[in-house]
Amino acid sequence: MTDIRKIRAVDTYELRHPVLRGGHPIEHCQFDQDDAKTTMHFGYYENGKLTGIISLFKTKHPNTGLIGYQIRGMATGNESRGKGHGKALVEYAESQLKSLNIPFVWANARTSALGFYEKLGYQPCSDVFLIEGVGDHVVIEKPLR
User: Average per-residue pLDDT in the chain?
Assistant: 89
Q: How far from 18 is each of 24, 25, 58, 107, CA to CA, in Å?
A: 9, 10, 25, 20
> What pTM does this model have?
0.90
Task: Decide which of 3.60.15.10, 3.30.420.40, 3.40.630.30, 3.90.1150.10 is the CATH code for 2-143.
Answer: 3.40.630.30
pLDDT per residue over 86-141, tens digit each?
999 999 999 999 999 999 999 999 899 999 999 999 999 999 999 887 789 999 99
What pLDDT score was predicted for residue 28?
A: 67
Q: How confident is the model at residue 143 (pLDDT cuts 50, 70, 90)?
A: very high
Spell out the domain ranges in the chain.
Answer: 2-143
Q: How confident is the model at residue 26 (pLDDT cuts 50, 70, 90)?
A: low
DSSP lists the bridge partners of residue 43 as 5, 53
